[in-house]
Structure 1
Amino acid sequence: MKHFVSANRLILPLAITALSAPLAGTAQALPTVISDGKLLADLRLRYESNDTDDATEKATALTLRSRLGAESGAINGFKVLVEVEDIRALVDEYRVEDPAYDVVADPVDNEINRAQISYSNAGFAAILGRQRILLDNTRFVGNVGWRQNEQTYDAVKLGYKTADYHAQYAFIDQVNDITFTEADVSHHLLNIQYSGFKPGSLTGYAYLLKDDATDAKNNTFGARFSGKQAVNDLSLLYTAEYALQKTDDFDASYLALEAGVVVQGITLAAGFESLGSDGGAYGFQTPLATKHAFNGWADKFLVTPADGLTDTYVKVTTAVAGVNLLAFYHDYGSDQGSADKGSEVNFQATKGFGKYYTAGLKYAAYSKGDAGADTDKAWLWLEAKF
Structure 2
Amino acid sequence: MKANSYQRLRQVSLAVLLASMSMQVVAEEEILPEYTFMDAIKTGKNMTSFRLRYEFVDQDGLQPATFANGSANPTANRELDNANAVTLRSLIGWQTAPYKNWSFAAQITNVSKLKDDFNDSTNTVRTNGASNESDRINYAKVVDPDYTDINQLFVDWTGIKNTRVRAGRQAINLDNVRFIGDIAFRQNTQVFDGVSVFNKTIPDTEIYLAHFDRVRQIFTTHRSGDLEIANARYRISPTEFLVGYGYFSNFENLGLGNAWFGAGALNNTFNNLLADQSNKIIGLRLDGTHPFTPNYRAHYTAEYAKQTDYKGGDNRIDAHYYKVGGGFGIDNFNLRVDQELLSSNDGQYAFQTPFGTNHLFQGWVDKFLVTPRQGIKDSFITATYKYGDFLFFVDYHDISSDEDFFTVNGGATANGNRYGREWNAAVTWNIDKNWMTKFEYGKYTEDDQYAAGPNAVTNGATNRARFQDTEKLWLTAMYTF
- The question of a shared fold, defined as TM-score above 0.5 by the shorter chain, is answered with yes
Post-superposition offset of 1:28: 7.8
Superposed counterparts of 1:230-379, under 5 Å: 230-232=291-293, 233-247=295-309, 248-250=314-316, 251-337=318-404, 339-371=417-449, 372-379=467-474
Contact 1:69–1:81 (CA under 8 A) maintained in structure 2? yes
Which residue of 2 is the match for residue 203 of structure 1?
A: 243
- State whether structure 2 residue 219 is matched by structure 1 residue 182: no
Q: In angstroms, what is the RMSD of aligned CA positions?
A: 2.0
Q: Give 1:65's match in structure 2, choosing from 74, 82, 89.
A: 89
Q: What SS class does the counterpart of residue 335 from structure 1 fall into? A: strand
Query: Percent of aligned positions with the same letter in both sequences?
Result: 33
Amino acid at match of 1:385: T
Amino acid at match of 2:234: Y
Pair 1:349–1:199, CA change in 2 (3 A):
closer
In structure 2, how many angstroms separate the alpha carbons of the residues matched to 1:280 and 1:43?
43
Deviations 1:144-181 (A, max 9, x none): 00000110000100011143111111101101111111
Which residue of 2 is the match for residue 106 of structure 1?
A: 144
Q: What SS class does the counterpart of residue 40 from structure 2 fall into? A: helix
In structure 2, how many angstroms separate the alpha carbons of the residues matched to 1:106 and 1:249?
34
Which residue of 2 is the match for residue 21 of structure 1?
A: none
Post-superposition offset of 1:312: 0.2
Structure with greater strand percent:
1
Which residue of 2 is the match for residue 16 of structure 1?
A: none
TM-score scaled by structure 2? 0.73
Contact 1:36–1:74 (CA under 8 A) maintained in structure 2? no
Which residues of structure 2 form unaligned runs of 5+? 6-33, 62-78, 121-132, 254-273, 405-415, 450-466
Q: After alignment, is 319-328 or 128-137 more displaced?
A: 319-328
Q: Give 2:280's match in structure 1, choosing from 202, 215, 219.
A: 219
Contact 1:4–1:154 (CA under 8 A) maintained in structure 2? no
- How many residue pairs end up in the alignment? 365
Q: After alignment, is 374-383 or 331-340 more displaced?
A: 331-340
Q: After alignment, is 32-41 or 306-315 more displaced?
A: 32-41
In structure 2, how many angstroms separate the alpha carbons of the residues matched to 1:366 and 1:254?
23
Which residues of structure 1 form unaligned runs of 5+? 6-26
In structure 2, how many angstroms separate the alpha carbons of the residues matched to 1:294 and 1:102?
21
Post-superposition offset of 1:35: 2.5
Amino acid at match of 1:67: L
Pair 1:328–1:2, CA change in 2 (3 A):
same
In structure 2, how many angstroms separate the alpha carbons of the residues matched to 1:181 and 1:202?
34
Superposed counterparts of 1:57-206, under 5 Å: 57-96=81-120, 98-120=136-158, 121-162=160-201, 163-196=203-236, 200-206=240-246
Q: Which has the larger radius of gyration?
A: 2
In structure 1, how many angstroms separate the alpha carbons of the residues matched to 2:419 and 2:252?
33
TM-score scaled by structure 1? 0.90
Deviations 1:310-334 (A, max 9, x none): 0000010002342101101000000
Post-superposition offset of 1:137: 0.5
Q: After alignment, is 157-166 or 225-234 more displaced?
A: 225-234
Q: After alignment, is 317-326 or 265-274 more displaced?
A: 317-326
Deviations 1:262-296 (A, max 9, x none): 01311000000000000011010000000000010
Which residue of 1 is the match for residue 43 of structure 2?
A: 36
Amino acid at match of 1:227: G
In structure 2, how many angstroms separate the alpha carbons of the residues matched to 1:42 and 1:35?
18
Which residue of 2 is the match for residue 20 of structure 1?
A: none
- Could you list the structure 1 runs, at least 4 aligned residues long, displaced by more than 6 angstroms after superposition: none
Contact 1:140–1:286 (CA under 8 A) maintained in structure 2? yes
Q: What SS class does the counterpart of residue 175 from structure 2 fall into? A: coil
Deviations 1:76-122 (A, max 9, x none): 22100000000001100000251110000000011000000012242
In structure 1, how many angstroms separate the alpha carbons of the residues matched to 2:37 and 2:371?
51
Pair 1:62–1:255, CA change in 2 (3 A):
same
Q: What SS class does the counterpart of residue 32 from structure 1 fall into? A: helix
Contact 2:252–2:278 (CA under 8 A) maintained in structure 1? no
Contact 1:143–1:151 (CA under 8 A) maintained in structure 2? yes
Amino acid at match of 2:302: A
Which residue of 2 is the match for residue 51 of structure 1?
A: 58
Contact 1:165–1:196 (CA under 8 A) maintained in structure 2? no
In structure 1, how many angstroms separate the alpha carbons of the residues matched to 2:216 and 2:98?
27
Q: What SS class does the counterpart of residue 50 from structure 2 fall into? A: strand
Contact 2:290–2:299 (CA under 8 A) maintained in structure 1? yes
Q: After alignment, is 58-67 or 200-209 more displaced?
A: 200-209
- State whether structure 2 residue 446 is matched by structure 1 residue 381: no
In structure 2, how many angstroms separate the alpha carbons of the residues matched to 1:225 and 1:109?
39
Post-superposition offset of 1:217: 1.6
Deviations 1:209-238 (A, max 9, x none): 011557642111100001222235520010
Q: What SS class does the counterpart of residue 315 from structure 1 fall into? A: strand
